[in-house]
Chain A
Amino acid sequence: MNTTIMLFLVQDGITNGAIYALLGLALVLVFAVTRVILIPQGEFVTYGALTYASLAAGQMPGTAKLALALGIGAFGFDLFVARKALHARLIVRSLITNVVLPAIVLALTLYFAAQKPPVAVCIALSLVIVAMIGLYLYRIAFQPLAHTSVLVLLIASVGVHLALQGLGLLFFGAEGQRGPTVLSGAFTAGALRFTGQSITVYAITIAFIVGLWLFFGLTLYGKALRATAVNRLGARLAGIRTTLSGQIAFLLASVIGALSGILIVPITTLYYDSGFLIGLKGFVAAIIGGLVSYPLTAVAALVVGIVEAFSSFYASNYKEVIVFMLLIPVLLLRSLAAPAVEEEKD
Chain B
Amino acid sequence: MQSRLPIIVFAAVMAAIPFVPGMPPFWIVLLDNIGLAALVAMGLVLLTGVGGLTSFGQAAFVGFGAYTTAVLSTAYGLSPWLTLPLSLVVSGSLAVLLGLITVRLSGHYLPLGTLAWGLGLFYLFSKLEFLGRNDGISAIPPLSIGSFKMLSPGSIYYAIWVAVILSALLTMNLLDSRTGRAIRALRRGHVAAEAFGVHTPRAKLLVFIHAAVLAGLSGWLYAHLQRAVNPTPFGAHMGIEYLFIAVVGGAGYVWGGVLGAAIVVVLKEVLQSYLPLILPGSGQVETIVFGIMLVALLQLAPGGLWPWLMSFLPERTSGRKPDTSLKLEHRARAPAETGVLLQVEKARKQFGGVVAVNNVSFDVKAREIVALIGPNGAGKSTTFNLITGVLSATSGSISVLGRKVDNAPPQEIVKLGISRTFQHVKLVPDMTVLENVAIGAHLRGHSGPISSMLRLDRTDEAKLLAEAARQIERVGLTEQMHQLAGSLSLGQQRIVEIARALCVDPMLLLLDEPAAGLRHMEKQRLATLLRELRDGGMSVLLVEHDMGFVMNLADRIVVLDFGTKIAEGTPATIKSNPEVIKAYLGVAA
- Collect the chain A residues with CB atoms within 8 Å of residue B123's CB: 318, 320-321, 324
Minimum Cβ distance to chain B for residue A253 (Å): 16
B106 touches A170 (CB 8 A): no
A-B contact pairs, 11 of them (CB 8 A): A145-B302, A149-B302, A150-B54, A152-B247, A159-B293, A160-B295, A166-B284, A318-B123, A324-B120, A325-B117, A331-B113
- Collect the chain A residues with CB atoms within 8 Å of residue B15's CB: none
Of the candidate stretches B184-192, B474-482, B528-536, B562-570, the one touching chain A is: B184-192
- Collect the chain B residues with CB atoms within 8 Å of residue A144's CB: 299
A331 touching B105 in the complex, CB below 8 Å, given contacts A162-B290, A345-B189: yes
Chain A positions 292 through 335: 1 when the CB is less than 8 Å from some CB of chain B, otherwise 0: 00000000000000000000000001101101110110011011
The contact of B127 among A149, A156, A321, A325, by CB within 8 Å, is A321
B299 touches A287 (CB 8 A): no
Chain B positions 286 through 326: 1 when the CB is less than 8 Å from some CB of chain A, otherwise 0: 11111111110011001000000000000000000000000
B302 touches A331 (CB 8 A): no
**In the complex the two chains form, what is the Cα distance from A325 to B115 in whole Å?**
11
A154: CB under 8 A from chain B?
yes
B519: CB under 8 A from chain A?
no
- Collect the chain A residues with CB atoms within 8 Å of residue B106's CB: 338-339, 341, 343
Minimum Cβ distance to chain B for residue A230 (Å): 14
A159 touching B292 in the complex, CB below 8 Å, given contacts A283-B115, A335-B104, A346-B187: yes
- Collect the chain B residues with CB atoms within 8 Å of residue A341's CB: 106
**In the complex the two chains form, what is the Cα distance from A165 to B283 in whole Å?**
10
**In the complex the two chains form, what is the Cα distance from A152 to B52 in whole Å?**
12
B108 touches A327 (CB 8 A): no
- Collect the chain A residues with CB atoms within 8 Å of residue B190's CB: 342
A328 touching B117 in the complex, CB below 8 Å, given contacts A159-B295, A321-B123: yes
**In the complex the two chains form, what is the Cα distance from A343 to B190 in whole Å?**
8
Closest to A161 in B: B291
**In the complex the two chains form, what is the Cα distance from A325 to B292 in whole Å?**
32
- Collect the chain A residues with CB atoms within 8 Å of residue B298's CB: 145, 148, 152, 155-156, 159
A37: CB under 8 A from chain B?
yes
Within 8 A of B (CB), among A112-160: 141, 144-145, 148-152, 154-156, 158-160
B119: CB under 8 A from chain A?
yes
- Collect the chain A residues with CB atoms within 8 Å of residue B284's CB: 165-166, 169-170
The contact of B294 among A156, A280, A323, by CB within 8 Å, is A156
Closest to A319 in B: B123
A164 touches B291 (CB 8 A): yes
A186: CB under 8 A from chain B?
no
B117 touches A342 (CB 8 A): no
A324 touching B117 in the complex, CB below 8 Å, given contacts A155-B244, A342-B189, A342-B190: yes
Closest to B104 in A: A335
Closest to B294 in A: A159
B295 touches A141 (CB 8 A): yes
**In the complex the two chains form, what is the Cα distance from A150 to B106 in whole Å?**
13
B104 touches A156 (CB 8 A): no
B112 touches A287 (CB 8 A): yes
A283 touches B112 (CB 8 A): yes
A317 touches B295 (CB 8 A): no
Chain A count of residues within 8 A CB distance of the other chain: 56
Can you name 9 extra interface pairs (CB under 8 A) apart from A37-B112, A324-B120, A332-B101? A141-B295, A144-B299, A145-B302, A162-B287, A162-B291, A163-B289, A287-B109, A291-B109, A328-B117
Chain B positions 261 through 294: 1 when the CB is less than 8 Å from some CB of chain A, otherwise 0: 0000000000000000000011111111111111
The contact of A151 among B115, B247, B292, by CB within 8 Å, is B247
Chain B count of residues within 8 A CB distance of the other chain: 53
B288 touches A317 (CB 8 A): no
B287 touches A165 (CB 8 A): yes
A37 touches B111 (CB 8 A): yes
A160 touching B291 in the complex, CB below 8 Å, given contacts A169-B282, A169-B283, A335-B105: yes
The contact of A320 among B119, B287, B288, B293, by CB within 8 Å, is B119
The contact of B189 among A148, A164, A325, A344, by CB within 8 Å, is A344
The contact of B291 among A166, A328, A335, A338, by CB within 8 Å, is A166
The contact of B116 among A149, A160, A327, A343, by CB within 8 Å, is A327
B243: CB under 8 A from chain A?
yes
- Collect the chain A residues with CB atoms within 8 Å of residue B116's CB: 283-284, 287, 324-325, 327-328, 331
B454: CB under 8 A from chain A?
no
**In the complex the two chains form, what is the Cα distance from A316 to B291 in whole Å?**
33
A167: CB under 8 A from chain B?
yes
- Collect the chain B residues with CB atoms within 8 Å of residue A331's CB: 101-102, 105, 109, 113, 116
- Collect the chain B residues with CB atoms within 8 Å of residue A344's CB: 188-189
- Collect the chain B residues with CB atoms within 8 Å of residue A169's CB: 282-284
Closest to A150 in B: B108
**In the complex the two chains form, what is the Cα distance from A321 to B189 in whole Å?**
33
**In the complex the two chains form, what is the Cα distance from A334 to B109 in whole Å?**
9
Secondary structure at the B interface, as helix, strand, loop or mixed, is: helix
Minimum Cβ distance to chain B for residue A279 (Å): 11
Closest to B296 in A: A159
- Collect the chain B residues with CB atoms within 8 Å of residue A44's CB: none
A20: CB under 8 A from chain B?
no
B108 touches A158 (CB 8 A): no
B240 touches A170 (CB 8 A): no
A31: CB under 8 A from chain B?
yes
The contact of B108 among A37, A165, A166, by CB within 8 Å, is A37
- Collect the chain B residues with CB atoms within 8 Å of residue A291's CB: 108-109, 112
A345 touching B188 in the complex, CB below 8 Å, given contacts A156-B294, A159-B292, A325-B117: yes
Minimum Cβ distance to chain B for residue A68 (Å): 17
Closest to A320 in B: B123
B230: CB under 8 A from chain A?
no
**In the complex the two chains form, what is the Cα distance from A19 to B69 in whole Å?**
41
Closest to B112 in A: A287
**In the complex the two chains form, what is the Cα distance from A166 to B276 in whole Å?**
14
B48: CB under 8 A from chain A?
yes
A327 touches B302 (CB 8 A): no
Minimum Cβ distance to chain A for residue B248 (Å): 8
- Collect the chain A residues with CB atoms within 8 Å of residue B283's CB: 166, 169-170
A170 touching B288 in the complex, CB below 8 Å, given contacts A145-B302, A156-B298, A343-B107: yes
B182: CB under 8 A from chain A?
no
Minimum Cβ distance to chain A for residue B483 (Å): 19
- Collect the chain A residues with CB atoms within 8 Å of residue B299's CB: 144-145, 156
Closest to A280 in B: B119
**In the complex the two chains form, what is the Cα distance from A144 to B106 in whole Å?**
26
- Collect the chain A residues with CB atoms within 8 Å of residue B244's CB: 155, 158-159
Minimum Cβ distance to chain A for residue B131 (Å): 13
8 closest A-B pairs by beta carbon, nearest first, are: A163-B291, A159-B294, A162-B291, A166-B287, A166-B288, A324-B120, A327-B116, A335-B104
B127 touches A317 (CB 8 A): yes
**In the complex the two chains form, what is the Cα distance from A150 to B248 in whole Å?**
14
A327 touching B117 in the complex, CB below 8 Å, given contacts A170-B288, A338-B106: yes
B251: CB under 8 A from chain A?
yes
Closest to B247 in A: A155
Minimum Cβ distance to chain A for residue B92 (Å): 19
Within 8 A of A (CB), among B84-110: 101-102, 104-109
The contact of A318 among B52, B127, B189, by CB within 8 Å, is B127
B124: CB under 8 A from chain A?
yes
**In the complex the two chains form, what is the Cα distance from A334 to B112 in whole Å?**
13
B108 touches A321 (CB 8 A): no
B120 touches A325 (CB 8 A): yes
A163 touching B292 in the complex, CB below 8 Å, given contacts A291-B108, A345-B189: yes
- Collect the chain B residues with CB atoms within 8 Å of residue A340's CB: 391
Chain A positions 235 through 267: 1 when the CB is less than 8 Å from some CB of chain B, otherwise 0: 000000000000000000000000000000000
**In the complex the two chains form, what is the Cα distance from A317 to B129 in whole Å?**
11
Within 8 A of A (CB), among B374-409: 391
- Collect the chain B residues with CB atoms within 8 Å of residue A31's CB: 108
**In the complex the two chains form, what is the Cα distance from A141 to B291 in whole Å?**
11
- Collect the chain A residues with CB atoms within 8 Å of residue B290's CB: 159, 162-163
Minimum Cβ distance to chain B for residue A256 (Å): 19
